[in-house]
């Protein structure tokens, strides 16, 4: 399958020239084409932000919802129709700040979805305030004395919660990023891709060059099945490791754990709503 299958057609793209989002869009199309995903079977759920505009630039089904609320929507879509490929995608603010609570519990629930987070360490859409992943000392018009909080570390948090798949990528390397994305999308269970990305307009510190100098790829000596080792790598600060940090592949997914699928595998969306059963249930609870 060719990546152009996912082209959205003649559409104005709102991103700034040089934005890492263009490379992420390319890498995602390549990964989806490699996996043979059909646009009609793909749903991208996004929130609010520059990153969250991505499903509008792709041919796929889209749910563009509230800021920070991608993960519960994506979890529900997948639970209702386990035949779909479901991606929850957005920025570091969308996913780790406004959606931070959902992030923690999506990891715990382990729905079979892919969570792609464009991490430019800044709020891009709202013109450059600090995000939870902004580095200490980062000055903005809102953080005039510079950020003094320890940055939120999504990969370490995901490993600590025993996530099923934890990875980090860099938009400057399209080939490696598309490989990581393909592995994440084909993984059964919740898969995090924390995708480092320069913001050319509002983050003049973490530039393309900064990411090149401050990252490195994990090699074969890293065993992603070793959780303690993965946590050590995830908490490295000198240089940020890229690649697959942690894997716990055989965890039951949220959908598999749901009672409604125990005996009947028919997707929920295909089943008839049994109003009389619901009415009887409500009646049985009256006066309790
Ligand atoms: C409930 C709510 N709070 C705040 C906002 C304002 N807001 C819109 S996007 C955004 C942050 C965007 O940053 P990020 O998710 O990192 O995306 P980027 O633009 O950097 O890709 C904020 C705070 C909002 N739309 N809704
Ligand atoms: Mg951002």
User: How far is the C-alpha of 246 from the C-alpha of 223, rounded, in Å?
Assistant: 8
Contacts of 159 (CB under 8 A, 6+ apart): 166, 227, 230, 231, 234, 245, 246
Nearest ligand 1 atom to alpha carbon 199: 20
Eight-class DSSP state of 50: S
DSSP string, 145-162: T---SPPP-HHHHHHHTT
Coil, helix or strand at residue 229: helix
Residue whose CB lies within 8 A of the most ligand 1 atoms, among 94, 194, 203, for a mutation test: 94
Ligand 1: residue whose CA is nearest its atom 3: 67
76-95 average pLDDT score: 97
Phi first, then psi: give them for residue 249, nearest 5 degrees.
-75, -25
Cα 242 from chain centre: 15
pLDDT of 252 above 80: yes
Comparing C-alpha atoms, which of 138, 137, 102 is closest to residue 123?
138
Pairing of strands 165-170, 114-119: unpaired
In contact, 159 and 245? CB cutoff 8 Å = yes
* Domain 3-285: homologous superfamily in CATH: Thiamin diphosphate (ThDP)-binding fold, Pyr/PP domains (3.40.50.970)
Within 10 angstroms of residue 144's Cβ, the number of other Cβ atoms is 7
**C-alpha to C-alpha distances, 148 to 41, 60, 133, 144, 151, nearest whole angstrom:** 44, 40, 12, 11, 9
Ligand nearest to the CA of 142: 1
C-alpha 130 to ligand 1 mean position (Å):
11
Residue located nearest, by CA, to atom 26 of ligand 1? 67
pLDDT, tens digit, 9 for 90 and up, residues 24-59? 999 999 999 999 999 999 999 999 999 999 999 999
* Nearest alpha carbon, ligand 1 atom 2: 67
pLDDT of residue 190: 98
Let me know if 59 is exposed, middle or buried by CB neighbors in 10 A (0-12, 13-18, 19+). middle
Q: How far is the CA of 275 from the centre of ligand 1 (A)?
A: 40
Sorting pLDDT into bands at 50, 70 and 90, what band is 288?
confident
Instruction: For residue 46, report the distance from its CA to the centre of ligand 2, in Å.
Output: 13
Go through 210-221 and write b for each residue having 16 or more CB atoms within 10 A of its CB, e for each that does not: bbeeebeebeee
d(CA 7, CA 40): 13
pLDDT tens by residue, 148-207 = 999 999 999 999 999 999 999 999 999 999 999 999 999 999 999 999 999 999 999 999
Residues 8-27 have pLDDT tens digits of: 999 999 999 999 999 999 99
Q: Residue 98: how many CB atoms within 10 A of its CB? A: 20
For a ligand 1 pocket test, name from 98, 131, 138 the mutation site with the most ligand atoms within 8 angstroms of its C-beta: 98
Q: What CA–CA distance (Å, rounded) separates 148 from 140?
A: 12
**From 67, 70, 202, mutation site for ligand 1 pocket: most ligand atoms within 8 A of C-beta:** 67
Cα(114) to centroid of ligand 2, in Å? 18
Mean pLDDT score, 83-88: 97
- Helix (H) or strand (E) run with residue 241 in it: strand 240-247
| Structure token digits, residue 228 | 């303690």
119 CA closest ligand 1 atom index: 16
Instruction: Give yes or no for residue 287 having a pLDDT over 90.
Output: no
DSSP string for 89-105: EEEHIIIIIITHHHHHH
To the nearest 10 degrees (0 to 180), the angle between helices 70-80 and 100-109 is 30
Q: What is the pLDDT of residues 257-283, one digit of tens each?
A: 999 999 999 999 999 988 999 999 999
Sign, CA dihedral 178-99-150-91, equals: positive
Q: For residues 51 and 16, what is the distance between their CA atoms, to the nearest angstrom? A: 12
User: Residues lining ligand 1, CB < 6 A?
Assistant: 48-51, 67, 90-94, 98, 118, 120, 122-126, 131
Q: Looking at the CA of residue 202, tell me the nearest atom of ligand 1.
A: 20
Give, as residue ranges, everything with CB less than 5 Å from ion ligand 2: 91-92, 120, 124
* H/E stretch holding 117: strand 114-119
């Amino acid at each position: 399958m060719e990546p152009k299958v996912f082209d959205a057609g003649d559409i104005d793209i709102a991103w700034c020239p040089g934005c890492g989002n263009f490379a992420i869009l390319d890498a995602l199309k390549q990964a989806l084409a490699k996996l043979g995903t059909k646009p009609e079977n793909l749903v991208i759920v996004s929130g609010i932000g520059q990153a969250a505009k991505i499903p509008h630039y792709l041919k796929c089904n889209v749910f563009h919802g509230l800021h920070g609320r991608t993960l519960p929507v994506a979890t529900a879509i997948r639970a209702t129709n386990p035949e779909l490929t479901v991606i929850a995608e957005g920025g570091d603010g969308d996913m780790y700040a406004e959606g931070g609570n959902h992030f923690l519990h999506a990891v715990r629930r382990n729905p079979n979805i892919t969570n792609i987070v464009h991490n430019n360490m800044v709020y891009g859409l709202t013109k450059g305030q600090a995000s939870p992943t902004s580095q200490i000392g980062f000055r903005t018009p809102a953080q005039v004395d510079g950020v003094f909080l320890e940055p939120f570390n999504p990969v370490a948090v995901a490993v600590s919660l025993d996530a099923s798949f934890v990875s980090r990528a860099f938009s400057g390397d399209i080939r490696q990023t598309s490989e990581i994305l393909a592995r994440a999308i084909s993984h059964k269970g919740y898969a995090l891709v924390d995708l480092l990305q320069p913001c050319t307009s509002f983050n003049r510190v973490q530039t393309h060059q900064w990411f090149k100098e401050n990252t490195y790829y994990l090699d074969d000596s890293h065993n992603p099945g070793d959780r303690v080792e993965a946590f050590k790598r995830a908490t490295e600060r000198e240089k940020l490791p890229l690649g697959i940090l942690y894997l716990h592949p055989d965890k039951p997914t949220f959908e598999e754990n749901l009672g409604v699928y125990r005996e009947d595998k028919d997707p929920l969306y295909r089943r008839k709503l049994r109003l009389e059963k619901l009415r009887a249930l409500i009646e049985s609870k009256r006066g309790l």
